[in-house]
Chains A and B, each alone.
Chain A
Amino acid sequence: MIPPEVGHLMISSFEIQKYRCFSGVSAKGLSRINIIVGRSGTGKTALLEGLFLCAGGSPQHYFNILGMRGVLGQQLRLESEAYDQFFREMFYKFEITPISLRFDDSYRGTWTLNIGPGAQKQLVSPESGDTAIYTPIAFSAKSGSGKEHESTVRLEGGNLRFPPPSDPFSIAFLNNATIGQQPGLMTRFSQIVTDGREDKIIQALQALYEDIDDVRLVSYGGGNVLLASVKGLGRIPMGSVSGGINKYLSILVTIRYKQRSVVLIDELENGFYYANLTGAWKGIVEACLAAESQVFVSTHSNECLHALLPLLEEHSDHFTMIRTEKLQNEIVLVQFSGSELRDAIEHGFEVR
């Protein structure tokens, strides 16, 4: 059963200005579980990215986003023109005007990130020795504790340089490109096992996939890997059991790893058998409440939303739905309470 309501909420409101498709959007009165819906191209993923960037407060998080989108290749060597292109798609209408991101954490204050052009710099090509002028992009972050941090992305010898992040907010971004392969998964699971907290995760997995007896982290083929004990099959790598179960494990581990963190999940439904969606939601909600964490989940799927109904009927106060909509060529956010979502689903409405 879902434990009783816990008091601490993470991101209670946010504001995104001039980031990607958003001229200016905001939301307040957020919940433990926030569902993001909307037509393709209306900014569901961009909204998650905006929160991720603001929480990280550094260019590193932008590169992580590019990596998740598959935009970032192995090479980071850039000339001055490529530098502009590299960052341009972050800006509203591809015009390099300042981006402003902000959210309020109900426990740790207001976090802000401003991204914009810095002072022009000269670039010398390492190959030809030619010089060019470029405008570096500056990230100015302020954390909830009031700590300020400035990162300017410079080009040196064709390589991007920037200082490491400082005082980052605890946030994780899971999307289909990275989920299951995220670098921190093994470390997180290992820590959970060390703390003796893995039982709840194994139980949640078994609720969906009853053939799984256990999950262990072992050295395998020169690295660490998660092995599942599967009835009739013995121990096999999690990824070989099923993409859906590997994804589910990754979500649960990420949520339960650290108390009071925010987890962003893009397109939850992919990989889950439809009949398992309610169980998956239940595991996610239980993990969030136990860890006092918060999730933002985007979905395209009506089945995924309908699978929420049993949880909405029991705990509608834990939920908020945000729909991204295009209105007169601008993206707007329309927000609904958990009870409105529950009643809409009960009456069979198309809410996406």
Chain B
Amino acid sequence: MGSKLDELDTENQGPLTQPSLILCEGRSDAAFFFRLTRERKLNGFQVGWVGGKTQFGSYLNGLRTRIKPGFQRVIIVRDCDENPQEAFDDIVAQIKIAKNHPYPIPVAPKTVATTGTPHISVLLLPDSNQKGTLETLLVLSIRDRHPDLYKCMLAYADCTGTTNWDIGKYSKMQLHSMIAAACPKNPGCSLTIIWADRDNPICLDHECFRPICDYLGQFAR
């Protein structure tokens, strides 16, 4: 377990050894992409996280100190939350923070800006035009493998009056309720370490992750 965490830190802060960096909001998102790319045998990716959705700009500004020949692209991953367009516009504004060595600016999600190096693209979750977050997808992946668990969670959500929360918070509530119920040895298991838990209910080969894998696949080695 400890070595996996160390491996994530090395990916986030150490030398860029792969041609592509998947840059996420938080450590748990990065842990998901770390696991997904390995499970789906998508090679050539390194993961990183910025520490909150407002920190992409400063991370990219500092990232210049790690860039070496052979490094090709940054794939920025952000949750759509309630408004996909606002989420994309916010990323674009942050990319522009790096003024000394400007990055190219993508015109839309899943397009690749190639007018400078490294190339930049933005991947919005759950998808380019859908409200929600990474957790929205993770809930879907659990739903089909554990329908009974999902049904109980919906009843719990009804009972606790959380169904009217915004989709981001609601997805988080759904996901963590189901993880808690599925992981008796560690009900408080976080998304960063759940991948090593044998009771992990998240199904990474679920169809809901196909658009992500298809997109990343074009950059895989």
Contacts and interface: CB of A to CB of B under 8 A. Distances in A.
Nearest to B50: A347
Interface stretch (A90-98, A245-253, A266-274, A334-342): A334-342
B59 A343 contact: yes
A327 B15 CA distance: 15
A202 interface: no
Nearest to A337: B100
Contacts of A346: 58, 62
B116 to A, nearest CB: 15
A348 B12 contact: yes
Interface stretch (B64-72, B78-86, B162-170, B177-185): B64-72
Nearest to B98: A340
A345 interface: yes
Nearest to B15: A350
A244 to B, nearest CB: 28
A345 B62 contact: yes
B101 interface: yes
A342 B15 contact: no
B188 interface: no
Contacts of A340: 61-62, 64-65, 98, 100-101
- Secondary structure type dominating chain A contacts: mixed
Interface in A308-323: 321, 323
Nearest to A328: B69
A19 B13 CA distance: 34
Nearest to B49: A347
B51 interface: yes
Question: Which 5 pairs of residues, A with B, have the shortest CB-CB distance?
Answer: A343-B62, A344-B62, A344-B65, A343-B61, A343-B58
Interface of B: 9, 12-15, 50-51, 55, 58-59, 61-66, 69, 98-101
Interface residues of A, number: 18
A347 B62 contact: yes
Interface in A133-187: none
B100 A347 contact: no
B120 to A, nearest CB: 17
B10 to A, nearest CB: 9
A336 B64 contact: yes
Contacts of B63: 344, 349
Given A339-B99, A340-B98, 12 more contacts: A336-B64, A340-B62, A340-B101, A341-B65, A344-B64, A347-B51, A347-B55, A347-B58, A347-B59, A347-B62, A349-B65, A349-B66
Interface in A187-207: none
A275 interface: no
Contacts of B61: 339-340, 343
A132 interface: no
Contact of A327 (B59, B62, B69, B99): B69
Nearest to B16: A349
A351 interface: yes
Nearest to B67: A334
13 contacts: A336-B65, A337-B100, A340-B62, A340-B64, A340-B98, A340-B100, A342-B62, A346-B58, A346-B62, A347-B50, A347-B55, A348-B13, A349-B66
